[in-house]
């Protein structure tokens, strides 16, 4: 496979120092997608735009260091692209399905990420004091936020990739402040940041 086509697609759209790592991740996704039902894409352009770059949408709102937990990580989206770019961060990828858990272990080793993967549901994670919890293509947002309230730092953030309908449903959720924005380049999705209300 030709990594150059991945690096060409990412050039100028991701931090320079992360392009090679993101391209290597794209290659792994492409190689393993069919065997493990990881993601369905028509071509590399869609893989880069809809999955890898969309996963990087929160970058302007993230501190330089911290601990990330990616709930229901699946193929590693958004956790892996974020950790490829955020050098000062460590991560916990949480995925209950065996084949996807195994794939994530391979990704961590191949890319040299400062991360670990646990084969379980996020509800079983006992670790606390995460700086950020992410969830993309994971349902049950109210339950996730209920769990996260006891597992993030007081200034921590929960980031959810959601539909417009989900955004409206979550808008008045008690105990949380919410900030949302359209996902870049897409007309169907929202990126929502939740913080625990201090009062």
pTM for the whole thing? Answer: 0.92
25 belongs to a structural domain: no
Please list, residue by residue across 97-130, b when 16 or more beta carbons sit within 10 angstroms of its beta carbon and e when fewer do: eeebbebbbebbeebebebebbbeebeebeeeeb
Indicate whether 186 pLDDT > 60.
Answer: no
CA of 131: how far to CAs of 90, 136, 169, in Å? 10, 17, 25
Residue 84 CA to chain centroid, in angstroms?
A: 11
129 belongs to a structural domain: yes
> How many angstroms separate the CA atoms of 92 and 22, rounded?
18
In terms of pLDDT, which residue wins out, 43 or 186? 43
Name, in order, each residue with C-beta under 8 angstroms of 168's C-beta and a sequence gap of 6 or more. Answer: none
Which residues are paired to 15 by β-bridges? none
Burial class, 149, CB count within 10 angstroms (exposed 0-12 / middle 13-18 / buried 19+):
middle
117 belongs to a structural domain: yes
Q: If you average pLDDT over every residue of the chain, what do you get?
A: 90
The pLDDT score that the predictor gives to residue 107 is 97
Residue with the two structure tokens 């961060």: 89
Indicate whether 34 pLDDT > 80.
Answer: no
Indicate whether 135 pLDDT > 60.
Answer: yes
**Other Cβ atoms within 10 Å of 40 Cβ, number:** 9
The band of 199, judged by pLDDT with boundaries at 50, 70 and 90, is low
The pLDDT score that the predictor gives to residue 17 is 82
The band of 187, judged by pLDDT with boundaries at 50, 70 and 90, is low
Closest CA to 65 of 82, 90, 94: 90
Name, in order, each residue with C-beta under 8 angstroms of 130's C-beta and a sequence gap of 6 or more. Answer: 67, 68, 69, 92, 148, 151, 152, 153, 156
Domain coverage including residue 133 = 58-196
48 belongs to a structural domain: no
The pLDDT score that the predictor gives to residue 38 is 77
The band of 130, judged by pLDDT with boundaries at 50, 70 and 90, is very high
17 belongs to a structural domain: no
Q: What's the number of domains the chain is made of?
A: 1
DSSP string, 101-168: HHHHHHHHHHHT-SEEEESS-GGG-----EEEEEEES---HHHHHHHHTTTEEEEEEEEEEEEHHHHH
Which residues are paired to 194 by β-bridges? 158, 178
144 belongs to a structural domain: yes
CATH of the domain at 179: 3.40.50.150
């Amino acid at each position: 496979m030709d990594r150059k086509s991945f690096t060409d697609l990412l050039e100028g759209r991701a931090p320079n120092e992360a392009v090679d790592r993101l391209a290597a991740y794209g290659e792994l996704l492409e190689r393993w997608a069919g065997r493990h039902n990881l993601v369905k894409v028509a071509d590399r352009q869609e893989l880069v735009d809809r999955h890898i770059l969309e996963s990087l949408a929160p970058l302007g709102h993230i501190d330089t260091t911290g601990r990330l937990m990616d709930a229901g990580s699946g193929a590693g989206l958004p956790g892996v692209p974020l950790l490829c770019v955020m050098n000062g961060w460590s991560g916990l990828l949480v995925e209950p399905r065996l084949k996807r858990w195994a794939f994530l272990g391979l990704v961590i080793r191949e890319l040299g990420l400062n991360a670990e993967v646990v084969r379980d549901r996020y509800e079983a994670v006992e670790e606390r004091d995460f700086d950020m919890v992410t969830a993309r293509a994971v349902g049950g947002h109210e339950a996730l936020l209920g769990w996260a309230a006891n597992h993030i730092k007081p200034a921590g953030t929960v980031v959810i990739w959601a539909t417009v309908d989900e955004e409206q449903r979550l808008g008045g959720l008690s105990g949380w402040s919410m900030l949302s924005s359209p996902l870049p380049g897409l007309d169907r999705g929202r990126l929502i940041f939740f913080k625990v209300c201090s009062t």
